[in-house]
C-alpha cells in the first residue's frame, strides 16, 4: 500500500530558496525499505543478542587451562549422586517431551480429477441448455446470463452428463454415476502416484455437502478398493465449501492417536441432483458458478514418509459463526414457492464472510506472523483502544508469513474482497483466479486445483509456506498452513494443468459477453 505524503516547501540556509521533498513514490520506496529493515531486525533480534553472549562465553572458555578442567572434574566426583540424579532427570524429561509432542503429519501427494472434454460447458452451452429446459422465465434467463458474464468462469468448465443432456435427467442413478467418476478418477491417480496399496490405508474421510446417499460415499470407496475391515471411515455432509479443510483437520486429529497410518481424504461436490430448476434468483447464482470436480489427498504420520512427501501440515484453524442467526442462514438449502430445492445465497454473504475471516486470521496470525508484524499490530491496537487515537487498524502483512495463497475460488466477488483486504498482488491471486476461470467453483476441492496450478508453474520451493483458506455454509472459515518439504519439479508432475499450463495466466475481462446463437 503506497503512503501519500504531500510536498512541503522548506527554506534553506535562511534565504528565499525553496525546494520540494522527495516525490511520493520515492517516499513510498524509502518507507518500504525502512519496514523491511525493521522486520529483519526484529526477526533476527534473538540471534543479534546471542552472538555477543557467545563471543563472551567463548573468550572466557579460552582462558581455562588443564588445571581448571581437572578441578571441575574432581568437583563432579564429589557430587556424583547429584550429578547422576540431574542427568537422569534430564533424560527422563527429554524422553517425556519427545513421546508427548504432536506427531508430524505429511502430505505424501494429492490428485485432482479432470473430466473428459465431452463434459465441457461453455457460456453459450450453459445458456442454450438452460433455455431448452423451459424452467426459467425470460427475465431469469437474462439474470443468469448477466451473472455468468461477470463470474470469471471461462469456456472450458465442466458439467455432468445428466445436466448437459436435453432434457436433463437429474436422478439418483446419474448422481451416483457422477460421484463414482469423480471420486474413483482422483483416487486412481493418487494411488498410482504414491504406490500405496489400498489395504495400507487406515483412515478414510469423504466430504460432499449436498449428496449423501445410502450406502454412503465412503462406503462406495471401501467397496470399490476393497479397503480393510477395520478402517476408520467418516462421511461429512452439509458442511459447504470449507469441508475440505475440516476433513484435513479431522485427519490430523486421527493421525495423532493412530501411529504409522495413512489417511485418505476425498473432497468433492455433486452437481447432478443439486441443479436448481426454479426462478428464485437467490438460488440461481449457484447454477452459474458451481462446476464438476474433486480431489484426493494422502496424508501420513510415518517418519519414513517424510523424504518422499511434498508438504508438512503446520497449522489448521477452524472458525464457526453458526451461533449468529444471520451467519447461519446466509447459505441455506430450501424449497422455493414451487417446491424446487436449491441453495439460497443471502445478500449478507460478503459481510458474514468478512467477519468470519477476521475471526480466523485473528487466531491464525499469532501462529504464523513474524514478531515484527505482531508488534505493529499490538501497538496500533493499544493506540486505538487504550489511548483512543483515531488511526486506522493495522492490517498485518501476511505476505511475510506465506509465499503462496490458495483462496477458495467461490466467485469473483470473494476473490476481489480477499485481494483487497489482505493487500495481495495479482501474482498471489493468480492460482485462485485461474482455477475459477478454468474449472469454476468446484467447492471444497478448489483449493487443490489451486495448489496444483502453483506446482505446475514451478513456484514451489523447499521451505515455502502455503496458506489455504476456504469459506462454507454454517457459516465457517477454515485455514490450513503447509510447508514444502522439497522443491517441486513440474516436469515430473502429473496434474490437470500440465498439458495446458503454458497457456496461463490469461486475462479475465470484467465482462465476458455470451455470444448469441
To the nearest whole number, what is the mean pLDDT of the chain?
88
334: phi then psi, degrees, rounded to nearest 5: -160, 180
- Output Rg (C-alpha) for the chain, integer angstroms: 28
Q: Residue 394 pLDDT more than 90?
A: no
166: phi then psi, degrees, rounded to nearest 5: -120, 115
Which of the following is catalytic: 235, 279, 404, 478? 404
Active site residue 39: no
Residue bearing the bigger pLDDT, 140 or 83 = 140
- The angle formed by the CA atoms of residues 299, 484 and 369, to the nearest 5 degrees, is 110
pLDDT in tens, 250-284: 999 999 999 999 999 999 999 999 999 999 999 99
Q: What is the DSSP letter of 198?
A: G
CA 92 to chain CA mean position, Å: 39
Q: What is the pLDDT of residue 78?
A: 66
For residues 130-145, give the mean pLDDT. Answer: 94
178 neighbors 272 (Cβ within 8 angstroms): yes
Which of the following is catalytic: 441, 477, 478, 495? 441
Greatest Cα pair distance in the chain = 100
Lowest-confidence pick of 93-97, 102-106, 239-243, 368-372: 93-97
Supply the pTM of this predicted model.
0.84
Q: What is the pLDDT of residue 300?
A: 98
Which of the following is catalytic: 274, 408, 478, 495? 408
Grid cell digits, residue 169? 435427467
336 neighbors 281 (Cβ within 8 angstroms): no
Residue bearing the bigger pLDDT, 393 or 396 = 396
Active site residue 441: yes
Q: What percent of the chain has pLDDT over 90?
A: 71
Q: What is the pLDDT of residue 1?
A: 33
Confidence band (pLDDT; 50, 70, 90) for 155? Answer: very high
152: phi then psi, degrees, rounded to nearest 5: 90, 5
pLDDT in tens, 413-443: 999 999 998 999 999 999 999 999 999 999 9
Q: Residue 354 pLDDT more than 80?
A: yes
Which residue in 229, 294, 226 sits closest to 265, CA to CA?
A: 294
pLDDT in tens, 464-477: 999 999 999 989 99
pLDDT in tens, 43-63: 566 566 777 777 777 777 677
264 neighbors 203 (Cβ within 8 angstroms): yes
Which residue in 113, 114, 296 sits closest to 204, CA to CA?
A: 296
pLDDT in tens, 327-348: 999 999 999 999 999 999 999 9
- The angle formed by the CA atoms of residues 253, 259 and 260, to the nearest 5 degrees, is 120
295 neighbors 267 (Cβ within 8 angstroms): yes
407 neighbors 469 (Cβ within 8 angstroms): yes
Grid cell digits, residue 93? 524429561
| DSSP H helices in 63-155 | 66-78, 80-100, 123-133, 138-149
For residues 65-74, give the mean pLDDT. Answer: 73
CB atoms within 10 A of CB 322: 12
* Peptide bond preceding 377 in cis form (omega within 30 of 0): no
Which of the following is catalytic: 241, 288, 330, 477? 241
Active site residue 408: yes
Confidence band (pLDDT; 50, 70, 90) for 17? Answer: very low
Confidence band (pLDDT; 50, 70, 90) for 90? Answer: confident
- Integer Cα distance of 181 and 115 in angstroms: 8
Any residues with CB less than 8 A from the CB of 270 and at least 6 apart, and which? 175, 178, 179, 208, 210, 211
Active site residue 404: yes
Amino acid at each position: 500500500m503506497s503512503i501519500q505524503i504531500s510536498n512541503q516547501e522548506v527554506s534553506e540556509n535562511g534565504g528565499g530558496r525553496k525546494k520540494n521533498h522527495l516525490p511520493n513514490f520515492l517516499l513510498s520506496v524509502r518507507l518500504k525499505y525502512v519496514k523491511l529493515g525493521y522486520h529483519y531486525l526484529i526477526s533476527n533480534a534473538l540471534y543479534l543478542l546471542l552472538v555477543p553472549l557467545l563471543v563472551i562465553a567463548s573468550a572466557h572458555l579460552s582462558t581455562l587451562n588443564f588445571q581448571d578442567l581437572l578441578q571441575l572434574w574432581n568437583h563432579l566426583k564429589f557430587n556424583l549422586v547429584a550429578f547422576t540424579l540431574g542427568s537422569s532427570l534430564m533424560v527422563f524429561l527429554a524422553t517425556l517431551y519427545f513421546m508427548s509432542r504432536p506427531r508430524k503429519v505429511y502430505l505424501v501427494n494429492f490428485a485432482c480429477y479432470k473430466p473428459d472434454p465431452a463434459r465441457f460447458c461453455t457460456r453459450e452451452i450453459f445458456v442454450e441448455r438452460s433455455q431448452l429446459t423451459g424452467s426459467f422465465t425470460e427475465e431469469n434467463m437474462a439474470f443468469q446470463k448477466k451473472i455468468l458474464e461477470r463470474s470469471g468462469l471461462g469456456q472450458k468448465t465442466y458439467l455432468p452428463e445428466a445436466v448437459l443432456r436435453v432434457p436433463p435427467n437429474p436422478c439418483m442413478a446419474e448422481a451416483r454415476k457422477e460421484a463414482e467418476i469423480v471420486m474413483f478418477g482422483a483416487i486412481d491417480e493418487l494411488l498410482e502416484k504414491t504406490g500405496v496399496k489400498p489395504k495400507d490405508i487406515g483412515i478414510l474421510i469423504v466430504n460432499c455437502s449436498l449428496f449423501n446417499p445410502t450406502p454412503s460415499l465412503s462406503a462406495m470407496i471401501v467397496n470399490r478398493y476393497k479397503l480393510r475391515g477395520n478402517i476408520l471411515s467418516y462421511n461429512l455432509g452439509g458442511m459447504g465449501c470449507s469441508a475440505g479443510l475440516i476433513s484435513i483437520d479431522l485427519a490430523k486429529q486421527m493421525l495423532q492417536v493412530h501411529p504409522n497410518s495413512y489417511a485418505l481424504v476425498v473432497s468433492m461436490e455433486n452437481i447432478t441432483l443439486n441443479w436448481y430448476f426454479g426462478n428464485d434468483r437467490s438460488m440461481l447464482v449457484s447454477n452459474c458458478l458451481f462446476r464438476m470436480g474433486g480431489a484426493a489427498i494422502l496424508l501420513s504420520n510415518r517418519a519414513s514418509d517424510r523424504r518422499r512427501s511434498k508438504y508438512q501440515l503446520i497449522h489448521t484453524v477452524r472458525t464457526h459463526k453458526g451461533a449468529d442467526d444471520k451467519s447461519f442462514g446466509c447459505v441455506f438449502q430450501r424449497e422455493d414457492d414451487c417446491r424446487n430445492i436449491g441453495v439460497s445465497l443471502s445478500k449478507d454473504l460478503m459481510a458474514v464472510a468478512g467477519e468470519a475471516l477476521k475471526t480466523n486470521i485473528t487466531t491464525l496470525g499469532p501462529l504464523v506472523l513474524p514478531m515484527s508484524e505482531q508488534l505493529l499490530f499490538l501497538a496500533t491496537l493499544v493506540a486505538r483502544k487504550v489511548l483512543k487515537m483515531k488511526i486506522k487498524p493495522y492490517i498485518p502483512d501476511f505476505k511475510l508469513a506465506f509465499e503462496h495463497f490458495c483462496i477458495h475460488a467461490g466467485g469473483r466477488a470473494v476473490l476481489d474482497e480477499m485481494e483487497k483486504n489482505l493487500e495481495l498482488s495479482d501474482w498471489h491471486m493468480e492460482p485462485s483466479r485461474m482455477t475459477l476461470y478454468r474449472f469454476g467453483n468446484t467447492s471444497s476441492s478448489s483449493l487443490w486445483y489451486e495448489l496444483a496450478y502453483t506446482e505446475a508453474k514451478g513456484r514451489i520451493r523447499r521451505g515455502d509456506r502455503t496458506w489455504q483458506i476456504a469459506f462454507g455454509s454454517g457459516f465457517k472459515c477454515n485455514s490450513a498452513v503447509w510447508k514444502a518439504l522439497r522443491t517441486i519439479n513440474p516436469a515430473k508432475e502429473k496434474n490437470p494443468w500440465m498439458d495446458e499450463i503454458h497457456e496461463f495466466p490469461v486475462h479475465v475481462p470484467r465482462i465476458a459477453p455470451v455470444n448469441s446463437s
